[in-house]
Structure 1
Amino acid sequence: MVEKSQTNKVLILLSGGIDSTSLVHYYLSKGEKIEAIFFDYGQLSCEREYQSAIAISKHYDIQIKRVNLGFTIRDQEGEFYCRNALFVLAACSFLGNSASYISIGVHSGTPYYDSTPAFIRDTQTILDGYFGGVFRITAPFLEFSKEQVYEYALRESVPIHLTYSCEMGQQEPCGSCLSCIDRRMLDEKSPRKD
């Protein structure tokens, strides 16, 4: 099993949204060496998400790599089956031979398998099978609700204004997709830090 130390690299799956941006802040605040990877999987919002990911990487002065998976992952009523598993496995190709972490910004409160402790355990089992414990998957916000992640971001002055959370990919968020509705509800429920 990998022991956590300053020499381990953390590769963050950075989508340009609040959760993954909060991950960047989380690890940097702990003094970790991080890099980010952005996956293009044919999503409508790809270019706008990537603009946000670039802005976030510049804000935090971290390296980011864009990777085109070469195919489109289609959603089934809002769920992209196997997306996070594909991302984690693909991210392994961008790690060296030394002990490393792949971090994903999943949180509780969703009906999706890939936001559960079981998904993290199952994915780690696959990584262990391939890499014998050298690569680890981490999900620091796994027990947080979406509201708690958002409150963390506000409290820690994470640059939420640089993030993007619309599924339609328009320059300005559409305001009516599920991600926009979630974002609006978070803004309404959470007290803003002045």
Structure 2
Amino acid sequence: MSDRSYPVLVLLSGGLDSSCLVHYHLLQGDKVTAIYFDYGQQNSEREFQSAKAISKYYDIQLSRETLGFKINNYEGEFYCRNALFVLAACSFLGESTSLISLGIHSGTPYYDSTSAFVTDTQTLLNGYFGGVIRVTTPFLDYTKVQIFDYALQEKMPVQLTYSCEIGEQEPCNLCRSCIDRRMLNEKSPGKD
């Protein structure tokens, strides 16, 4: 454990990336709470079930909040989603919360998965909060494969996470998230 400890609000979707954040921050000795945002996505109920399972496994508090509007999907990209999540999370911070943790990583073509996005978002938060609230992205330089390797190395409960965009109980195996997950599972130890 680290000598430093921060109150951290993890934006928890129930997927692999954000679930790894929970584990990571707890290893750092941080006081972790999580928030799940329902923005009208097709898979919201199934995602939330995974977020609850991860929260229970790690014994952290989870709240579910509805944004009240749907974020449009443009060929797999939800424009402004991460920015909206970070700004909305500011309304749910405890008095001592200083970090908002976001599970973005390298290897995607989206602006809101880049270091420029993190810098721009932090500039906005500094304008509102004078540097007291910070965005943290521990896996920003990791690829999806490296995050999966981290989860396996740390013996995380990967089976509790959910990544299908369709939202059925069983993954569809056709959407981008399912294809990524299948490739990761095929690379895991013990697979032929």
The TM-score range, normalised by the shorter chain, is: over 0.9
Superposition pairs of residues 1-16 of structure 1, within 5 angstroms: 5-6=4-5, 8-16=6-14
Q: CA deviation at 1:125?
A: 0.2
Q: CA deviation at 1:187?
A: 1.2
Superposition pairs of residues 10-159 of structure 1, within 5 angstroms: 10-98=8-96, 100-159=98-157
Q: CA deviation at 1:74?
A: 1.1
Q: CA deviation digits over 1:79-119, x for unaligned, max 9?
A: 00000000000000111343510000000000000110000
Q: CA deviation digits over 1:128-155, x for unaligned, max 9?
A: 0000001000000000000000000000
Q: TM-score if structure 1 supplies the norm length?
A: 0.94
Counterpart contact for 2:4–2:28, Cα < 8 Å: no
> What letter corresponds to residue 170 of structure 2 in structure 1?
E
1:180 maps to 2:157: no
RMSD over equivalenced CA pairs, Å:
1.3
Q: TM-score if structure 2 supplies the norm length?
A: 0.95
Q: Distance in 1 between matches of 2:94 and 2:160?
A: 30
Q: Distance in 2 between matches of 1:157 and 1:41?
A: 31
Counterpart contact for 1:154–1:192, Cα < 8 Å: no
Count the aligned residue pairs. 189
Q: Distance in 2 between matches of 1:154 and 1:192?
A: 12
Q: Distance in 1 between matches of 2:187 and 2:120?
A: 34
Residue matched to 1:189 = 187
Counterpart contact for 1:116–1:142, Cα < 8 Å: yes
> What letter corresponds to residue 99 of structure 2 in structure 1?
Y
Counterpart contact for 1:147–1:190, Cα < 8 Å: no
Counterpart contact for 2:106–2:141, Cα < 8 Å: yes
Counterpart contact for 2:4–2:29, Cα < 8 Å: no
1:128 aligns to what SS in structure 2? helix
Unaligned runs of 5+ in 1: none
Unaligned runs of 5+ in 2: none
Q: Distance in 2 between matches of 1:181 and 1:191?
A: 18
2:99 aligns to what SS in structure 1? strand
Q: Please, which moves more after superposition, 98-107 or 12-21?
A: 98-107
Counterpart contact for 1:12–1:35, Cα < 8 Å: yes
Q: Distance in 2 between matches of 1:120 and 1:76?
A: 22
